[in-house]
Amino acid sequence: MTRRATTEEDYTARIDRVIDHVYAHYADPLPLDALARVAHFSPFHFHRVFRAHTGETLRAFVTRVRVQRAALQLGRGQTRTSLLELALACGFGSASELSRAFREAHGVSPSAFRRHAQMRKNAQEPLATHPYLPRHERQATKSPLRLKLVERPRCHLAYIRVQNPFAEGRLAHASARLDAYAAALGLNECARVGLSMDDPALLDASKTRYDLAWVTQEPPPSAPGISCGVLSGGLYGELAVCGSVGDLAHAWDRLFAEFLPASGYEPADGPGIERYLTPADFVTWSRFDVVLALPLRRARHAR
């Protein structure tokens, strides 16, 4: 392996640590120098390194994560908090700061977004499915949601982060690399999971991120191009799904639209997880056998 390739993989792992840190601490102050320390880069150069590797500025990324968390709470968590409380909980300094960023991202104010979400809920309309799916896959037959509540322990991950994962060949290539890593270390008996770092329904597909990972009980060995992390334990709502990528998207939407509103729960901080029971088809996208796992917490109004 060339020195250049090794350096690029090292940079990727360090940028991944920063992205993980932002997702985990989006409500906290995130000054550039603090994030530079997470990545072990000089603050003077870190901003350019981040932009070169992700395609967006650090400030734009942090703002996007915060806006997305606000949108999830407004549109799916159905929060009853005030806009000021929501703004502070998502890392903004004021309601007006949240409103400006939200309108720029979604073209409407947070209040209008919440009203539309409430109208959709009252009308029991399905959530809009992801824009990358063919139209004929958006009409899945409904069946009862057989969802289980499961307590999962904290675990370790060896993962590859894929940006714009639905672009042709990206997940298939990452899957092959991850399989080679697992085979070399004898991890094939471990569980394979995918973690949705972003919601494609709220974000341009080119900016979404998806982590393919092997779950390990102990910290996994480091390897070029493989990042390591931790998946928090806690309560999950789990739903078994077998079908095409369109069926998976439809099941996720039903979980949010049908289960959550009357459940007494709301989404907890953390990615949605797809636990692969069989090898995934990342070429034709026609066959997946997975368990969807959504991190949950008791809804505030239900306490």
Would residue 87 count as lying in a domain?
Answer: yes
The residue among 253 and 37 whose pLDDT is bigger is 37
Q: Are residues 278 and 169 in the same domain?
A: yes
Q: 152 in a domain, yes or no?
A: yes
Residue 141 lies in a domain: no
233 and 179 belong to one structural domain: yes
Same-domain status, 113 and 163: no
Asked whether residue 138 is domain-assigned, the answer is no
Q: What angle do CA 63, 69, 73 make, to 5 degrees?
A: 145
33 and 82 housed in the same domain: yes
Task: Count other Cβ atoms within 10 Å, centred on residue 48.
Answer: 12
CA–CA distance, 95 with 54 (Å, rounded to integer): 28
CA angle 186, 190, 195 (to 5 degrees): 125
Q: Could you read off the pLDDT of 146-203 as tens digits, one per residue?
A: 899 999 999 999 999 998 998 999 999 999 999 999 999 888 778 999 998 777 666 6
Please state, in angstroms and rounded to a whole number, the distance separating the CA atoms of residues 277 and 289: 6
Q: Are 264 and 185 part of one and the same domain?
A: yes
In a domain, 129, yes or no: no
Are 204 and 283 contained in the same domain? Answer: yes
**CA 266 centroid distance within chain:** 16
State the Cα–Cα distance between residues 33 and 280, nearest whole angstrom.
Answer: 40
- CATH code for the domain in which residue 69 is found: 1.10.10.60
- 122, 137, 167: which is the final residue of a domain? 122
How far apart (Å, rounded) are the C-alpha atoms in residues 226 and 220? 10
**Domain of 40, in residue numbers:** 3-122
SS3 category, 146: coil
What pLDDT digit, counting tens, does each position of 67-113 carry? 999 988 887 645 578 899 999 999 999 999 999 999 999 899 998 88
In angstroms, what is the C-alpha Rg of the chain? 19
68 and 162 in one domain?
no
Same domain for 109 and 197, yes or no, is: no
Q: What are phi and psi of 124, to 5 degrees?
A: 55, 40
Greatest alpha-carbon span in the chain: 58
Whether 161 and 16 have beta carbons less than 8 Å apart is answered as yes
Instruction: Look at residue 135 and tell me if it is in a domain.
Output: no
Domain boundary among 122, 137, 162: 122
* Mean pLDDT estimate for the chain: 83
Q: State whether 61 and 108 are in the same domain.
A: yes
What's the pLDDT tens digit per position in 2-54? Answer: 444 455 667 788 899 999 999 999 999 999 999 999 988 888 778 878 888 88
CB-CB contact of 270 with 188 (8 Å)? no
Residue 142's pLDDT band (cuts 50, 70, 90):
low
At position 177, the amino acid (one-letter code) is R
List the CATH number of the domain containing 264. Answer: 3.20.80.10
Residues 152 and 283 in one domain: yes
Quickly state the pLDDT bin for 122 (edges 50, 70, 90): low
How many distinct structural domains can be found in the chain? 2
- Rounded CA separation 98/109 (Å): 9
Q: List, in sequence order, every beta strand (DSSP E) within 164-287.
A: 192-196, 209-216, 227-231, 234-243, 265-267, 272-276
Query: Which of the listed residues 106, 122, 138 is the one where a domain comes to its end?
Result: 122
Q: Tell me whether residue 95 is in a domain.
A: yes
Euclidean distance between CA atoms 159 and 229, whole angstroms: 8
CB 170 within 8 Å of CB 132: no
Q: Is residue 114 one of the residues assigned to a domain?
A: yes
Is 173 in the same domain as 270?
yes
